[in-house]
Amino acid sequence: MKRAGIRVAGIVQGVGFRPFVYRLAQQYKLNGFVLNDEKGVWIEVEGEAVAITSFVTALSTEKPAMSMIADLQRTSLPVQGEDTFVIKPSPAATQRFAFISPDIATCSDCQHELQNSADRRFGYAFTNCTNCGPRYSIIKDVPYDRPQTTMEPFGMCADCQEEYDIPTDRRFHAQPNACAICGPYYRLLDSKGKEILGADPLKAAHELIKNGAVFAVKGIGGYHLVCDAKSETAVATLRLRKVREDKPFALMCGSLARVEELCFASTKEKELLMGAVAPIVLLKKKNTVDLAQAVAPGNPYLGVMLPYAPVHYLLLEEDDIWVMTSGNTSEEPIAYKDEDALHRLAGIADYFLIHNREIYCRVDDSVVRLFQEEPYLLRRSRGLAPAPIHLGGTGPMVLACGGEAKNTFCLTKGDAAFVSAHIGDLANRETMDSYAEAIEHYGRLFDIKPELVAFDLHPEYLSTKYADGLKLPKIGVQHHHAHIASVLAEHHEREQVIGVAFDGTGYGEDGQLWGGEFLLADCQGYQRLAHCLYLPLPGGEKAVRQPWRQATWVMQELYGKNFREKQTALTESLPNGWELLLQATANGLNAPLTSSAGRLFDTAAALLGIRLYNHYEGQAAIELELAAGGVVGRVLPYEITAGNELDFRPTFAAMIENIHKVSRAELAADFHTTMAAAIHEMVRRLSRLTGVHKVALSGGVFQNMTLLRQVYGGLEKEFTVLLNRQVPPNDGGLALGQAAVARERGRL
């Protein structure tokens, strides 16, 4: 006989861990108990030594799908001679526990119940169990118990209570447990918020959507705007009302079969779609299904998801393909409070499908694509946040304020980095208001009182201004250093690497706008070894939305005053005032210098006449990539100056020289391949110079798969290449990098 105490830390509460331990103890004929406490799960078992060892192994190998074990420690205890195994109540929490599960997509057991007319949860839109359902979005405070969630107003009926109380039940201590008798329910409202009584709201909604209506549907983390993706009128109406010109809409398909008719999907991609996170997955379109033109104009990729909440299973039939885009106008944050939604979406939605369970934390859909068969994130939110990212070591508690657009923030404690769900663009008033609230909420949930605050060097970022207002020691982190540090943090990399940060723009230490950077970096610091040649950004910020500006400057730089003789799509369609703009730029008026690689892609797109104006962030670059069609092109000339600056003006010149001879598609491909070749050559040089053979790639430009594939493919033959996998390479990952740098510097 032996007795063992087992400490399990990680995401082990609210995911069916105790019933699992209970069953396992029965199986191995062990006695003792299991309980939740502030550190996770504590187990004491006694029985045959061999049985205990098998039991401990099974804890890890057979753990519930939604759990995550961060640490498992076993200690020997004196035998007490118990004769049963029980689930004990949690001791009064002395300290808050550190892990909260993200929201989990409906599990297959719950799916079956929903669709089984003999089951008491048939057709019930809030069905969940310990293996699935809302978590983070409904938690007001910790410990995670029903009274601390937005399920608090709903008293459980006798049947639900029984499920909740029986240790072996799938709903044992499932905090959001509910049924049609006792739980929340949907209502159908017209565009003015007046309830439409009578019909089953879900059935009526399905009918109306099939007939072309635009709906606002309250879901897990906020409101979606929904319409039939096959209806030209409905999709066009939604675009018009949402004030969204070209940016692709995400879709939800009623079944995997429907996804496969619509898009190419590998085994891995299908796993992602059907998994517990159930994100939007970017998939290549097959062009076999007649979708409305306006879903994703000119884009060969579609953002697709499968139903992940009971309401989706009940609303969509297997054949349905619906637009499912976030409930907001253009750049505003997604609506999640009923009153706000009814107000803000009134001009967009014809009807509202609304429910009476409060969403406490707004959480957008996550967006993922595969790179090298592994997930590569574009937005880390629902299903992923607020699970911790492990840093592989301890350090001070840090608040990292993140960037400006695609903002997330990050709080650290011990080994864990809690990167927030997607917050959005702070320049928006509503977003900024929720930012401070969300930081406080995270601090409460994870019991973190920051000792240090990290922020971007850009003095105008609202996140920087927020940091300014805090009475804490401050650590400013250069934007691209933070991008590279985010990769280092994820990979627990402590050695110096050559960091390639190819990005939009970020504030540089010299006051210029950086964005095509080669850094010798670790989390402690960095040295800027090389960068893309500075070019002016005529008109400053405006040039980001208007790629024709820098492109026109490049034309004049290459061909002088008479550049219009080249007669390209760009020179033929210059807007009024271009001469003044070039003059002002020549005089250094409102023309900051930038080494941004993102702008080079914009400029290439404008030079080729692909896009002169961006209607959404990165549009020109995205369309340039689409034009290239994934093809490997030729390496056009480029130069490396004595000061290690990458000069792509010769590349642009070669493109212009060929513009009337070679197709735009070929030139677009050539530009990507040239960029990849230049990065490769520069990394090789810097590696010889420094003796460093590890390379980290990050920054928004590496969302360009054509570029990433070629850069990665070239570099990995000679170097160890690290990428972001747990946070996006775009500014959504900045906060993690800032936190990693601040922890390292804060150690001194």
Binding residue for Zn ion (CB under 5 A) from 8, 21, 107, 697?
Answer: 107
Residue 244 has a CB neighbour count (10 Å cut-off) of 20
User: Coil, strand, or helix at residue 186?
Assistant: strand
Instruction: Provide CB contacts within 8 A for 626, sequence distance 6+.
Output: 298, 299, 300
Rounded least distance, CB 634 to Fe ion, Å? 29
Q: What are phi and psi of 349, to 5 degrees?
A: -90, 140
Collapsing DSSP to helix, strand or coil, 340 comes out as helix
Q: CB of 403: closest distance to Fe ion in angstroms? A: 6
Q: Which two tokens stand for residue 363?
A: 């959480």
Q: Which is nearer to Zn ion, 129 or 600 (CB)?
A: 129
Q: What is the DSSP string of 383-408?
A: TTTTS-EE-SS----EEE---STTB-
C-beta closer to Fe ion: residue 110 or 400:
400
From the list Fe ion, Zn ion, none, pick the one residue 129 interacts with, judged by a Cβ distance below 5 to 8 Å according to partner type. Zn ion
Q: Which x/- pattern, by CB under 5 A, does the window 480-509 give for Fe ion?
A: -----------------------x--x---
> What tokens does 469 get?
């207002």
Residue (129 or 401) nearer to Zn ion, CB: 129
In the complex, minimum distance from the CB of residue 330 to Fe ion, in angstroms, rounded to a whole number: 21
Q: Which does 666 bind (CB under 5 to 8 A by kind): Zn ion, Fe ion, none?
A: none
Nearest to 552 by CA among 534, 531, 573, 528: 573
Nearer to Fe ion, 228 or 503 (CB): 503
Q: Which stretch binds Zn ion (CB under 5 A): 99-107, 448-456, 503-511, 524-532?
A: 99-107
Specify the 3-state DSSP secondary structure of 539. Answer: coil
Minimum Å gap between C-beta 737 and Fe ion is 10
In 115-267, DSSP assigns E strands to: 186-190, 215-218, 223-228, 251-253, 263-264
Mask 55-94, x = binds Zn ion (CB under 5 A)?
Answer: ----------------------------------------
Q: Closest residue to Fe ion, Cβ-based?
A: 503
Instruction: Give min distance, CB of 280 to Zn ion, in A.
Output: 22
Closer residue to Fe ion (CB): 184 or 728: 728
- Using CB under 5 A, count the residues that bind Zn ion: 10
- Residue 495: burial class (beta carbons within 10 Å; 0-12, 13-18, 19+): exposed
43, 100, 160, 291: which one binds Zn ion (CB under 5 A): 160
Closest CB to Fe ion among residues 19, 506: 506
Q: Which of 4, 8, 56, 129 binds Zn ion (CB under 5 A)?
A: 129
320 binds, among Fe ion, Zn ion, none (CB under 5 to 8 A by kind): none
* Residue 131 contact partner, candidates Fe ion, Zn ion, none, CB within 5 to 8 A by sort of partner: Zn ion
**Contacted entry of Fe ion, Zn ion, none for residue 179, CB cut-off 5 to 8 Å set by kind:** Zn ion
Q: Give min distance, CB of 535 to Fe ion, in A.
A: 18
**Minimum distance between the CB of residue 452 and Fe ion, rounded to whole angstroms?**
22
What is the per-residue binding string for Zn ion in 418-447, x denoting contact by CB under 5 A? ------------------------------
By C-beta, is 105 or 489 nearer to Zn ion?
105
Query: Residue 17's closest CA among 3, 39, 36?
Result: 36
- Pairwise CA distance, residues 117 & 130, whole Å: 22
Helical H segments across 495-559, by residue range: 542-545, 548-559
Of residues 399, 466, 487, the one with CA closest to residue 699: 487
C-alpha 366/C-alpha 62 separation (Å) is: 27
Minimum gap (Å) between residue 442 Cβ and Fe ion: 22
Binding partner selected for residue 485 from Fe ion, Zn ion, none, CB under the kind-specific 5 to 8 Å limit: none
Tell me which stretch binds Zn ion (CB under 5 A): 81-89, 155-163, 252-260, 264-272: 155-163
CB of 120 or CB of 429, closer to Zn ion: 120
Residue 130 C-beta: closest distance to Zn ion, Å: 7
Among the listed residues 165, 10, 232, 226, the one whose alpha carbon sits nearest the alpha carbon of residue 101: 10
Distances (CA, A) of 499 to 182, 265, 398, 676, 721: 55, 32, 23, 15, 10
Of Fe ion, Zn ion, none, which one does residue 235 interact with (CB within 5 to 8 Å by kind)? none
Residues 717-736 that bind Fe ion (CB under 5 A): 731
3-state secondary structure of 572: helix
Nearest approach, Cβ of residue 407 and Fe ion (Å): 11
Beta bridge partners of 186: 355
Give the one entry of Zn ion, Fe ion, none that residue 157 binds, where binding means its C-beta sits below a cut-off of 5 to 8 angstroms depending on kind: Zn ion
Among Fe ion, Zn ion, none, partner that 415 touches (CB below 5 to 8 angstroms by kind): none
CB 276 within 8 A of CB 105: yes
438, 407 contact by CB (below 8 A): no
Name the minimum Å distance from CB 480 to Fe ion: 7
Please say which residue, 506 or 539, places its beta carbon nearer to Fe ion.
Answer: 506
CA distance 405 to 365: 17
Q: Would you tell me how many other CB atoms lie within 10 Å of the CB of residue 689?
A: 13
Residues 170-229 that bind Zn ion (CB under 5 A): 179, 181-182
Q: What token pair was written down for 508?
A: 């540089």
Question: Out of Zn ion, Fe ion, none, which partner does residue 46 contact, by CB within 5 to 8 A per kind?
Answer: none
Residues 3, 32: contact at Cβ < 8 Å?
A: yes
Return the closest-CA partner of residue 220 out of 274, 273, 192, 184.
184
Rg (CA), the chain: 27
Half-sphere exposure of residue 310: CA atoms within 13 angstroms, side-chain side: 27
At closest approach, how far in Å is the CB of 699 from Fe ion? Answer: 6
User: Which one of the spans 132-140, 463-471, 663-671, 672-680 is the region binding Zn ion (CB under 5 A)?
Assistant: 132-140
CB of 367 to Fe ion, least distance (A): 17
Tokens of 614: 């961006």
* CB atoms closer than 10 angstroms to residue 471: 6
Residue that the structure tokens 């304020």 belong to? 401
Give the C-alpha separation, 160 to 154, whole Å. 11
- The torsion angle over the Cα atoms of residues 168, 171, 172 and 177, rounded to 10 degrees, is -160
Binder to Zn ion among 13, 36, 67, 131 (CB under 5 A)? 131
Q: Count the residues of the shown chain that bind Fe ion, applying the rule CB under 5 A.
A: 3
The site partner of 294 among Zn ion, Fe ion, none (C-beta below 5 to 8 Å per kind) is none
Look at residue 179 and give its three-state secondary structure: coil
CB of 110 to Zn ion, least distance (A): 3
Contact 453, 470 (CB under 8 A): yes
Out of 132, 321, 667, 735, name the contact with Zn ion by CB under 5 A: 132
Residue 257 binds Zn ion (CB under 5 A): no
Residues 135-194 that bind Fe ion (CB under 5 A): none
- Give whichever of 493 and 731 is closer to Fe ion, judged by the CB atom: 731
Cα angle, residue 301 at apex, residues 298 and 307 outer, rounded to 5°? 125
Among 157, 274, 584, 631, binds Zn ion (CB under 5 A): 157
Q: Indicate which of Fe ion, Zn ion, none lies near residue 731 (CB less than 5 to 8 Å, by partner kind).
A: Fe ion
Decide whether 107 or 669 has the Cβ nearer to Zn ion: 107
Q: Which residue's CB is nearer to Zn ion, number 171 or number 549?
A: 171
Closest to Zn ion by CB, 163 or 260: 163
Task: Report d(CA 456, CA 458) in Å as an integer.
Answer: 5
Sheet holding 68-77, edge to edge: 68-77, 2-11, 40-47, 31-37, 85-87
Binding residues for Zn ion, rule: CB under 5 A, are 107, 110, 129, 131-132, 157, 160, 179, 181-182
Which residues sit at the interface with Fe ion, rule CB under 5 A? 503, 506, 731
